[in-house]
Amino acid sequence: MAVVIGALRAPEMLARGGLTYEVAGPGGIVNALSLQFLGIHLSSVIGPLVAGQLLHGPGDGALFPGLAAAVIAGAIGVLRIPRRPVAAATGRHAEA
């Protein structure tokens, strides 16, 4: 499981960066990435606190379903982003 998670982390990071750029555009990329890193840092503080409560209460068996639920919730959020045709494949470009 550790190997699978590790192998998926790299493409996840690349996809997240690419999607952030496409959604925010070059005009909003600094703000978008700042907010993204804010989320990462806040979750690195909040996550261990929640994990500690889960370990103390229901036990370590509850951690993995909790983690899976959080990832699925994130994926559902990403799926709600409107799909748009990619210009690079056609050679056409739009300006932000």
For other proteins, the binding residues (CB under 8 A) are 10, 13-14, 17-18, 20-22, 25-31, 33-35, 37-38, 41-42, 44-45, 82-88, 92-96
In angstroms, what is the minimal distance from the CB of 36 to other proteins? 8
- For residue 1, the tally of other CB atoms under 10 A from its CB is 6
Closer CB to other proteins, 42 or 71, in the complex: 42
- Start-to-end CA distance of the chain, whole Å, equals 41
Give how far Cα 12 sits from Cα of 23, 50, 72, Å: 16, 23, 14
> Of 12 and 68, which has the nearer Cβ to other proteins?
12
